[in-house]
Amino acid sequence: MIGNYLNSPRHNKNVWQALAGRLPAMGWTVMTTSTKESQVLRLLDMLFTILRKKNQYNLAQIDVFSGNAFIFAESCARLLKILKKPIVLTLHGGGLPSFARRHPKRVAGLLSLASVVVTPSPYLRQRLAAYDSHIRVIHNGIDISSIPYKSRTAISPTLIWIRAFHQTYNPELAVKVLFYLLKDYPDASLTMVGPDKGDGSMQAVGVLAVKMGVEKHLKIMRPVPYEEVPALLGNADLFINTTNYDTAPRSLLEAMANGACVVSTDVGGIPWMVTSFRDGILVPPEEAIAMTAAIKKLLSNPELAERVSKTARQTAEGYDWSNVMPEWDDLFTEVLERACGKN
C-alpha cells in the first residue's frame, strides 16, 4: 500500500493507515510505504520499495492526491506497470477535480494505468467520470465502537472544530462564527484542534481572534492522540466544519457518531454525507452569518437538536469498518483473480 504513512506524535493515524492495519485480519499480508517526512525521500523510498520487494507482493494500492503529491502516484504507477503489477488507485481530496481541469492529460494517463479506481466519495466519482466512467465508491471507515454516543437535547453553545490549520479548511471562518454567536450567547466557546500545516493559518486565527475580541472564548490545541478525540467531541455540543472544498472528512463522521450537532459548509462530497436538517445542517461556504444562524436554530430548538443528534449517529453507523472492510476484501480479491486470469 503506497501513500503517506507518517507515524509520529505530530501525525495521527489516517484512514488508509487504519485500512492497512485491518486487512491482515482478513487474511491479507500488507506492506506499506512510506514513512519519510521529506517529500523527495518519501518518493525515493516508495520507488525503492516497489523494486526491492517486487517478488513479495501481488498487487499495489496507491493513494492519489492533487498538487505536488500527484507525482508520487504517477511515478509509482508507471514503475508498477513496467513490473506488470495490478494497480488499485484510491482518489482522495476535494482538490482533485480542479487539478484534473488544469492537468487533464496527466489525470487521464494515471487512471488508465489502474486495474480499478476507487474513491471514498460519490462526489469525486461524479466529477472525475470523464476520465474514468467506472470509478467505484468505497466509503471511509470509522470504528463506531470506539466513539460513545452522547444524546444532545438542550444543547449549549460549545463549539468544536477539528481539521488541519490550512487555508483549504478556512479556519478563520470559525473565529468569525464565534464572534457573531457571542452577540446572543455570551458564554459561547470554541475549541479548535489540528496540526499546523505551515501556511500561516494557525497564526492568522490567533490574530483574528484578538482583533475581533474573542480570544478569551477560543482554545487552540495541537493534534491529540486518536483515542482522545471522542472525549473532546463529548465536551462540545456543536461541531462546525468550515472547509472550502472537501471529499469525505473522517472528523465529520466521528462527530456524527458522537451525536454532536454538525453544521458544515455544503461543499465537495459533504452533501453526500449530510442531509440538511436531518443529520446536520449545511450552509454555503464563506458565510459566517449563515453558519451562525444555523447554530442558533439548533440552540433554540431542543427537538431539532435531539433529532439531528440521533439521526447523525444512525448515519455514521453505516460507515463502520464492519461494513467497509468486506468491500475492500472483495475488491482486492477481484483484482487478483482478474490478473491471474490474464497470466
Distance in angstroms between the alpha carbons of the first and the last residue of the chain: 22
pLDDT the model gives residue 8: 45
Q: Which residues contact 21 (CB under 8 A, 6 or more apart)?
A: 13
- The CA distances from residue 312 to 259, 265, 285, 306, 318, in Å, are 6, 16, 21, 10, 10
- Percent of the chain past pLDDT 90, that is, above it, reads 88
Residue 6: per-residue pLDDT: 59
pLDDT average, residue stretch 21-44 = 93
Phi-psi region of 204 (alpha: psi -120 to 50; beta: other; left: phi over 0): alpha
Q: How many helices (H) and strands (E) does the chain have?
A: 14, 10
Using 50, 70 and 90 to split pLDDT, how confident is the model at 343? low
Q: What is the pLDDT of residue 14?
A: 79
Asked whether residue 128 carries a pLDDT value surpassing 60, the answer given is yes
Residue pair 159/177 in contact by the 8 Å Cβ criterion = yes
Residue 314 confidence (pLDDT)? 98
The domain spans of the chain are 15-141+321-342, 144-317
Q: Would you call 234 helix, strand, or coil by DSSP?
A: helix
Nearest partner of 42 among 22, 71, 18, 66, judged by Cα = 71
- Tell the residue number behind the cell numbers 451562525, with chain if given: 292
Contact 246, 267 (CB under 8 A): yes
* CATH number for region 144-317: 3.40.50.2000
* Rounded-to-integer distance, Cα 33 and Cα 26, Å: 20
Return mean pLDDT, the chain. 94
Distance CA(83)–CA(50), nearest Å, equals 9
pLDDT at position 13 is 63
pLDDT of residue 80 exceeding 50: yes
Residues linked to residue 89 through DSSP beta bridges, in sequence order: 62, 117
Instruction: Give me the count of residues in the chain.
Output: 343
pLDDT for res 342 = 67
Mean pLDDT along residues 167-187: 97
Distance CA 120, CA 109 (A): 21
How far is residue 2's CA from residue 141's CA, in Å, rounded to a whole number? Answer: 18
Average pLDDT over residues 321-340: 96
Residue 154: its pLDDT value, please? 86
Reply yes or no on whether the pLDDT at 212 is more than 80.
Answer: yes
pLDDT tens-digit series, residues 233-250: 999 999 999 999 899 999
Cross-strand bridge partners of residue 3: none
Residue 3: what pLDDT? 77
Contact 96, 110 (CB under 8 A): no
What is the per-residue pLDDT for 12?
A: 54
* pLDDT, position 11: 46
Residue 94 has pLDDT above 90, yes or no: no
Q: What's residue 341's pLDDT?
A: 80
pLDDT-based confidence at 191, cuts 50/70/90?
Answer: very high
**pLDDT above 90 (res 217):** yes
CA distances from 96 to 82, 89, 151 (A): 25, 13, 36
Which fold would CATH assign to domain 15-141+321-342?
Rossmann fold (3.40.50)
Distance CA 11, CA 26 (A): 26
Model confidence pLDDT, tens digit, residues 297-327: 999 999 999 999 999 999 999 999 999 999 9
pLDDT at 263 (0 to 100): 98
- pLDDT band at 9, cuts 50/70/90? very low
Same fold, 15-141+321-342 and 144-317: yes
pLDDT score, position 16: 84
Distance CA 178, CA 216 (A): 11
| b/e map 59-82, b = 16+ CB within 10 Å | bbbbbbbbeebbebbbbbbebbee
Classify the C-alpha dihedral 266-279-318-225 as positive or negative.
positive
Conformational region of residue 268, where left means phi above 0, alpha means psi within -120 to 50, and beta covers everything else: left
**CA gyration radius for the chain?**
21
* Amino acid present at 137: V
